Structure 1
Amino acid sequence: VGLDQDLMQKNLSCATIGEAQKNMYVFTGIFLLINIFFLSVGALLYLYAEKNGISVPLDATSGLPRTDLLFPEIAFNHLSLIPAIIFLLGLTAATFATTDSALTALTTSFCVDFLNMDKQTEPDNGKSVRTRHMVHIGFSLLMLVVIMIIYWMNNDSVVSLIFKIAAFTYGPLLGLYAFGLFVKTKTVKNNWVPLICVLAPTITFLISAYSAELFGNYQFAEELIIINGGLTFLGLFIISKPATGTTRF
């Protein structure tokens, strides 16, 4: 939870540590209830499809079942007009709710980390504002291209794809977070950290690609993120050194 950009932004808006902790507890409870609700809705959707003889639509390219298409299939072809409109509105609202925060985070990170706009004496002048707008538009177009590529290349559900990508991208974050949280007596050599964060996902990918040959036809799935995070943690521990008073976390 603490690694998520949007959640961290919510915590940073709190005035004190106590308020941030309260925010984490409250949000975790709400988030749990929301997930249970949506999981229940998904289960009911499949029960409705099975009861009414509605099969999962096939992917136009691969011919394989595409579970992402079941919801729109039911909404547009097996329900009345009102549920279809509600489906479109809900899908649009959910898309904007997640996309705008991601675009804002990408724009802010690029402008601060790469363009050093936070160090400008007049960050709100016309040139800087135009630059931020162009960066925002650029990331919007890039996201559109990525979405189209994923749509044409992915034959599985979007949720499965997200978990696959997260196994490689969030693994180093998990390892870094765990090392900083649990290892209090050591510090790392900063120049080696990027190498570890690239090497760990690479090894994880190789393990995933050759898991059938190495582990008797066993195929890794969601547990790849644990392997990735563990390799990152191990790599950080190897390159670490005893912490002093000035380097202790």
Structure 2
Amino acid sequence: MNPGTTLLLFVFIYFIGLLVISYFTSRNSDNQSFFIGNKKSKWWLVAFGMIGTSLSGVTFISVPGTVGKITGTEYIFGGFEYYMMVIGFFIGYFIVAAILLPLYYKMNLTSIYTYLGRRFNVEAHKIGSIFFIISRAIGATARLYLVVNVLQIFLLEGLGVPFWVTAMVLLLMVLLYTFEGGVKTIVITDTLQTSFMIISLVACIVYILSNLNLSFGEAYTILEQKNYTHFINSDPNSKTFFLKTILGGIFITIAMTGLDQEMMQKNISVDNLHNSKKNMLTFAGTLLVVNLAFLFLGGLLYLFALQNGADYSKVPTLVEGKQVFSDVFGFRDASGNVKNIMGDDLFPALSLQGYFPMALSVIFIIGLISALFPSADGALTAVTSSYCVDLLNLNEDKTKTEKEKKHLRMKVHLTFTVVFFILIMVFKAMNDKSIVYLIMEIAGYTYGPLLGLFAFGIFTRFQISRKYAILAVTIAAPIVTYLINTTVTAYTDYRIGVELIILNGLLTFIGLWMVKSRSYLRVVD
């Protein structure tokens, strides 16, 4: 049996395990099990499982690759600069726990966008849900594309399997084990998948340290000497200037966790507010450690590659229409050409092309699949929940039986699986190598209106009575944000990075202020 077939066999065995878990957790399930797990989830299970959802393939593959700086572009972090964003995430989780979780529990929500309907009107409720569905579908499929592409390039392409078949099979796997149980199932499966992801992380660090005959301290010293461990980017014009990155990380967390149905449906599936807060803060603290470990692994991967014959070469590339010289990192072939393994390709190339022993390759592939499934299962369940609860009003529909509601929910679930497949194929056509930053940029445009809408609802007491006013503002704000971003890039040296979401949210808030009515909110149920 060749190595590729062996690895695929382990993927199949792993998936069978998920189906077994799904079978036991989905017995006697109903729509409330699917949407919020009947509010019986254990906080510590949710906290641990959310690590896998938050990390996904982006952290597993992209974050280690960001340690090596590519000069001439601004889309990849250098050294440990990404950790400044992680610190922003950490602060953001405390804000979510202090402000948003109490609100959601007080109103006993199944969908968090129900708040917008009660605070403003039906228009706001549906707009909030639509922006979430767009945001989560794009973000989740970008993460999915990253992992699917790795499996395709390093395992399945050599077997003659087309990319679209790989994507479809993996999505069908996710569909099968979430079809019945929803949140009730993924709280358990995410816990398992997070465990495998962390095992893979630790195993790779231990192996490389042993192979290079280095202690943890010695390895860190070498990384420091090679300038792989710097945390601070002090250039205010850069997209990764540390203050912008921290601030952007805070608001990305508020939007992509606190205003995101996928992340919050797991939190509000916990039995009470106190335990839900414990879940959120435990999860936040754990992410600080895990992300630092992934960055350390990234430095070790570069050291390992250098030790095994890799090197840097200057290659001309086009950036914004200008020719610049970028650092390409990789191994030279017999003709002297460099095969680039920098960025997203670094970890899988070393793990799956014979540089690591087979046992470690198996651990890597299981970790990789474990990074794929939490970002896919939660997103698929969440967009299905939001569409059914917010747009179809399925919970309140008295004209349908429970069986009819369940059948409709399954049809929606299947439809979104097809939508996810189409979006993965779009990302394949784009073929962007720096997915970690692309996801943050997309989030700036799609989550910004949600940020502004929730902020206006929480921090003001004004109503919006004009018909379609909220729709007009939430469409206009991302367009204006895009125009500002392109103008600033074209005419100044300043580069808007992750603070894009703040600009978009602020423009939404200002737009809502301009169309507010003179009536004040008196009571929020």
TM-score (norm 2): 0.42
Q: How many angstroms does 1:172 deviate by?
A: 1.3
Q: Is the 8 A contact 1:66 1:156 kept in 2?
A: no
The Cα shift of 1:146 comes to 0.6
How much does 1:238 deviate?
A: 1.9
In structure 2, relative to structure 1, the CA distance for the partners of 1:187 and 1:45 (3 Å cut) is farther
Report if aligned partners of 1:117, 1:123 keep a CA contact under 8 Å in 2.
no
1:12-161 matches, cutoff 5 A = 12-54=268-310, 55-56=329-330, 67-77=343-353, 78-118=355-395, 119-125=397-403, 127-161=404-438
What number of residue pairs does the alignment pair up?
Answer: 241
The one-letter amino acid of 1:208's match is N
In structure 1, the partner of 2:496 is 220
Alignment check: 8 A CA contact 1:212 1:218 kept? yes
Residue 175 to residue 71, structure 1, CA distance change in 2 (3 Å): same
The AA in structure 2 aligned to 1:157 is: S
Give the conservation status (yes or no) of the 8 Å contact 1:186–1:248.
no
Residues 452 and 508 in structure 2, CA contact (< 8 A), matched pair in contact too: yes
CA distance in 2, matches of 1:116, 1:64: 50
Q: Decide whether aligned partners of structure 1 residues 146 and 66 sit closer, same or farther in structure 2, where only a CA change above 3 A counts.
A: farther
Q: CA deviation at 1:140?
A: 1.0
More off after superposition, 19-28 vs 198-207: 19-28
Residues 180-219 of structure 1 correspond to what in structure 2 (within 5 A)?
180-181=457-458, 183-189=459-465, 191-214=468-491, 216-219=492-495
Deviation larger for 81-90 or 189-198: 189-198
Corresponding residue SS for 1:222: coil
1:237 maps to 2:493: no
In structure 2, C-alpha distance between the alignment counterparts of 1:93 and 1:13, rounded to whole Å: 22
Amino acid paired to 2:366? L
Q: Is the 8 A contact 2:262 2:381 kept in 1?
A: no
Counterpart AA for 1:26: T
Kept in 1, the 8 Å contact 2:445–2:504? The answer is: yes
Residue by residue over 1:128-167, the C-alpha shift from the partner in whole angstroms, topping out at 9 and shown as x without a partner, is: 4333222212211211121121022133322122112111
**Which amino acid in 1 is paired with 2:302?**
Y
CA contact (8 A) 1:196 1:236 kept: yes
Residues 38/120 of structure 1: CA separation in 2 closer, same or farther (3 Å cut): farther
Report which structure shows greater RCO (CA 8 Å, sep ≥6): 2
Given residue 24 of structure 1, which amino acid in structure 2 is its aligned partner?
Answer: M
Name the amino acid aligned to 1:124.
Answer: E
Indicate how the Cα distance of structure 1 residues 43 and 176 shifts in structure 2: closer, same or farther if over 3 A, else same: farther
CA contact (8 A) 1:211 1:219 kept: yes
Q: Residues 66 and 155 of structure 1 are in contact (CA less than 8 Å); yes or no, is this contact kept in structure 2? A: no
Gaps of 5+ in 1: 58-62
Shift in Å at residue 204 of structure 1? Answer: 1.0
Letter in 2 for 1:232: T
Offset of residue 53 of structure 1: 3.7
Q: 1:29 deviation in Å? A: 1.8
1:16 positional shift: 3.4
Post-superposition shift, 1:51? 4.0
Q: Which amino acid aligns with 1:192?
A: A
Whole-angstrom CA distance in 1 between matches of 2:503 and 2:294: 28
Q: Which residue of 1 aligns with 2:217?
A: none
Alignment CA distance shift 1:49-1:22 (3 Å): same
Distance 2:475 2:376 in 1: 26
User: Deviation of residue 217 (structure 1)?
Assistant: 4.0
Q: 1:98 to 1:36 in 2, by over 3 A?
A: same
TM-score scaled by structure 1?
0.83
Q: Is the 8 A contact 1:193 1:236 kept in 2?
A: yes
Quote the Cα distance in structure 2 between the aligned partners of 1:66 and 1:20: 39
The correspondence for 2:522, drawn from 234, 243, 246, is 246
Segment of structure 1 superposing worse, 67-76 or 30-39: 30-39
Give, in angstroms, the shift of residue 72 of structure 1. 1.0
Residue 79 of structure 1 aligns to a residue whose secondary structure is coil
* Counterpart contact for 1:187–1:248, Cα < 8 Å: no
Match of 2:456 among 176, 179, 203: 179
Cα offset, 1:243, TM superposition = 5.2
Runs of 5+ unmatched residues, structure 2: 1-256, 311-328, 332-338
Which of residues 266, 273, 276 is equivalent to 1:10?
266
Q: CA deviation at 1:122?
A: 4.5
